[in-house]
Amino acid sequence: KLSALHFPINKETMKCKTIADVQKYVETWTQKRETIAYEIDGIVIKVDQTHMYDDIGCTAKAPKWAVAYKFPAEEVETTIDDIIFTVGRTGQITPNAVFPPTLVAGSTIQRATLHNEDNVVMKDIRIGDTVILRKAGDVIPEVARVVFEKRKPDAQVFEMAKVCPSCGHELYRDEQESAHYCINPNCD
């Protein structure tokens, strides 16, 4: 027997006899989550028979008789108003998409990292594009994909920065890596 427990606020529990019952419960709550007054990111599914816990065992970090199921990330449409560049503590230059304030999974998002030039080119992300925005793991804002059907003819092709946005020093890219770096030792 398995129990699917909706966690943490609503203590609704359902006893499931088969894995198909568990899947149906997950599907029900995937749809129902939007109708409740608070944010949830998943449910816990666990074996109900405590005498089996030792036989089922544990990983190094968690019991195998209880599994956290995460819902698919909420996805919303928005537009990229600009792409700006930031400098990390290691000197890595990161392109960031700038959006109008967009509500995603309970937070208002205005920026999301695009990680590096290769990622932007691979996804063909452009300024002015309509994109699908989500929170990876319900935490980190990310551009999932471009809605190419809505691309405007004047969408601006991405161009990686050539100089550091902080100090103006020329950027360096090792061909073995995807990242660009400011190698000025005096850069802020």
Tell me how far apart the alpha carbons of residues 31 and 105 are, in angstroms, rounded to a whole number: 14
Please tell me the pTM assigned to this model: 0.74
pLDDT-derived band at 42, boundaries 50, 70, 90: confident
CB atoms within 10 A of CB 138: 19
Q: Measured between alpha carbons, how far is residue 134 from residues 74, 122, 127, 130, 141 in Å?
A: 6, 18, 18, 13, 6
Which long-range contacts link 107-110 to residues 24+ away (Cβ below 8 Å)?
107/135, 107/141, 109/133, 109/135, 109/141
pLDDT digits (tens, 9 = 90+) for 131-144: 999 987 768 899 99
Query: Is 175 or 162 the better-scoring residue by pLDDT?
Result: 162
- Using CA atoms, how far apart are residues 70 and 26, in angstroms rounded to an integer? 10
Whether 106 has a pLDDT exceeding 90, the answer reads no
Taking the C-alpha atoms of residue 107 and residue 165, their distance in angstroms, rounded to an integer, is 28
At 58-77, the pLDDT tens digits run 999 999 999 989 888 889 99
What spatial distance separates the first Cα and last Cα of the chain, rounded to whole Å?
Answer: 59
Report the share of the chain in percent with pLDDT over 70: 94
Tokens representing 118 are: 């290769």
The pLDDT of residue 185 is above 50: yes
Given a cut of 60, is residue 114 above it in pLDDT? yes
Residue 8, pLDDT score: 47
